[in-house]
Amino acid sequence: MTPAAIIASAERSLVNLGLDHLGLLQLHGPSIPELDALAVTLSDLKARGLTRAVGLNSFDPAVIDHAIGLHVIDVVMIDYNVLRPERAPLIARAAAAGKGVLAGMPLAMGHTRPLLARLRGPRDLWYAARALKNHRDDLVRGARFGFLHRLPDMTGSQAALAYVLANPGVSAAVFGATRPEHLRENLSASGRVLSDGVLARIHGAQSRKPLT
């Protein structure tokens, strides 16, 4: 992730999208030294009007914490969901510093739902295999939140999104969808509010000690 590569990527994106500026230039997984080395370049891109805002995403809280202190960074994406309540203080710091906060992985990669229940066709097998290989701990912890998929007034995905969006520091949630119906389902989560009873069950599941 060099200054020259960032400039070339931004200029190429403008051509491909047919735009005269980017609303948000998002860096994916930079290290702290890379961020510091890119600060002048990112400021120049904003000064030239090629992008209005600069953001980044990282799974490393230390990188996000460092980015919060950088004037050139406007937006941070943080992995935040019912399985990651510990990200809340980081979100609060970012919001207090005037940064926009995007919640990444708001559906916890679907790990609150039993794995077999997610298998509806051949294309789901790859996701299941990846979960078993790379996210066994999340699958175990996610089982505690199965009640989200039995609520009478919303789906499990809508409940997971409602939890994330209830955080006042979160500007928006970023999710992926493999089917049109999933997209429509998730979009309708906007404005939904979890009851105190459901929130209490979520907090109770979050506070349980890890299984050994």
Can you give the pLDDT at residue 211? 42
The pLDDT value given to residue 208: 76
* pLDDT grade for 94, boundaries at 50, 70 and 90: very high
> Which two structure tokens, joined as six digits, stand for 198?
């459901």
pLDDT band for position 212 (cuts 50, 70, 90): very low
Higher pLDDT, 115 or 199: 199
pLDDT recorded at residue 132? 53
pLDDT in tens, 18-49: 999 999 999 999 999 999 999 999 999 999 99
Assess whether pLDDT exceeds 60 at residue 129: no
pLDDT of residue 1: 78
Q: In sequence order, what DSSP letters do the residues of 79-119 get, joined into one string?
A: E-STT-GGGHHHHHHHHHTT-EEEEESTTGGGTTS-GGGG-
The one-character DSSP state at 210 is P
Domains of the chain from N-terminus onward: 3-207 (3.20.20.100)
